[in-house]
Structure 1
Amino acid sequence: MHPIIRYETQKQIVSAHNKSKYIILVVPLLIENNLQNIADRILVVDAHASIQLNRVINRDKVTLELAKNIIRSQVSRRHRLNYADDVIYNNNSVETIKKRVIILHQNYMKIISQKHSI
């Protein structure tokens, strides 16, 4: 499946490039699959370990032990955050997160305008 997914992703990126100033790819296992090089910037959405654990339990309807195993199978939060150019902490209220998204959007637009002025 991976070659097919990569091909489709590239096709959608090319298509979106004509419509948008920037593109956000949602890749849940970006670091685990060593795909960091497909992006100019890496935005990590992070939450405290206890929140992650509760979300896995509620989302997947699994036991605490299984949820811990799922989280342990991924790279650590620290490792993931080491790759981050930007972070949204998903421990906060929706309003706080919205404000962070607006700031990030403004930053991304500024980066794009600087690239085009060179």
Structure 2
Amino acid sequence: MSQVKKDLTKFPKELKQTISEKYGSLDRFYATVYLIARNEHQAQMNNVPAAQQRLNTIKAYQGMIRFMLDEGGANGQTILDDIASDYLEDFVQFKEQDFGLTNEDFIAIIKRI
């Protein structure tokens, strides 16, 4: 378990409740932020159509997540950076994480943010 996953379990009770309501669990929260970081990296690396619009959308979701964390008493930027770092470590080691989220699950969570 990464350090950031351990840190998530130390969140204030109210923040953990908010996360559970929006994401289903702390694990799904971690997976969602990880997948957003992966999408951001892929959009930056690949010349995809409307890449800037995609990056703007990703930044907007990251901002909403950061705000929720900050409002809950956590350092939102640090949490997002640490999860993105976990993704980048996996990327350079050619590791693919399977969080058990379908595309539909991921989209449903994104819509609740």
**Same fold, judged at TM 0.5 (above):** no
Higher RCO, 1 or 2 (CA under 8 Å, sep at least 6)?
2
* Structure with more of its chain in helix, by fraction: 2
Asked which structure has the greater CA Rg, the reply is: 1
* Structure with more of its chain in strand, by fraction: 1
Give the structure-2-normalised TM-score: 0.29
Give the structure-1-normalised TM-score: 0.28
